[in-house]
Structure formats: structure tokens, C-alpha cells
Amino acid sequence: MDMSRSSREKGKRGELEACEVLARVGIDCRRVTQYANRFGGHKDPDVVCDRMDVWWEVKRVERLNPYAFLDQALTDSRGKKTCAVLMRSSHRPWLLMIRLDDLPRFVEEYQRGNTRLQPEAESSQREAL
């Protein structure tokens, strides 16, 4: 399935915006350039957070279809990671969708990957020594 240039650009803008939004809640991530899927290889997540073992699917579309988005993330991740869908429509706030059963693992990953929480954890460890 070929995507139009404008659709790819909108996706890119959405992924960059998602990285900014995630950074505001202490999650540092970067956009992943999508090459492998064009050549029949494995698919990469839309954004990668090095400190979190989470498969991020980002959707910046007018008509949200959350179950289809989550199904895509689950298929693309091949069941190897906790999946999270970050989505929004124009003039609407970002929404995060995960399966309820994945919530404990997601919270654990968030705490491990959140850069705002790290200095406190490191100082607590130093104080314990």
C-alpha cells in the first residue's frame, strides 16, 4: 500500500509532535525512520524510547479507530513488547491507549524510563549506602 507524500509528511509531523508530548511527561524518545516495511522486512515502532521496552504506535488522524491501531501495534511488535497507542485528531488532546492487562507492565516501564524520576531514585540509592 503506497502512502501519498502528504500522508507520510502528516505522519512524520505527528510522530515528532508525539515525541515532544512524551518528553513533557518525562519520556525521552525519538522518531524512527520507516525503511524496513517498504522492502518487506520487519516493521519498526513509530517512536523509540531507549529506556522503555514499549512498542509505540502513533496516529495523527481525523477519524480515530483505536482497536485497529492497537491491533496494528500488536501485530507489528510480534507480541514481544507492551504496546501503547498515542493518538489524536486535530484540535483535540493526545490520548494514550493500552490494554488494561498491560497496565502494570506499562507503569513499570514508565517508572524505569521516566527521566524525571531517575535523579530521585539515584539519590535515594546513594543515601542508602
Over the stretch 48-102, which tens digit does the pLDDT of each residue have?
Answer: 888 899 999 999 999 999 999 999 999 999 988 999 999 999 999 999 999 999 9
- Mean pLDDT, residues 10-14: 85
Give the type of residue at 122: E
Kindly report, residue by residue over 37-61, the tens digit of the pLDDT: 544 455 788 888 888 999 999 999 9
CATH classification at residue 25: 3.40.1350
Give the SS3 label for residue 58.
strand
Contacts of 94 (CB under 8 A, 6+ apart): 18, 21, 86, 87, 88
Three cell numbers, residue 46: 513509530
Domain that holds residue 59: 5-128
Stretch among 31-40, 85-94, 110-119 having the lowest mean pLDDT: 31-40
Can you tell me which residue has the cell 514508565?
110
Q: Give mean pLDDT, residues 15-36.
A: 85
Cell 524510563 -> residue: 113
Q: Please, which pLDDT band fits residue 116 given cuts at 50, 70 and 90?
A: confident
What is the number of domains present in the chain? 1
Q: Please report where in the chains the cell 513499570 appears, as a residue.
A: 108
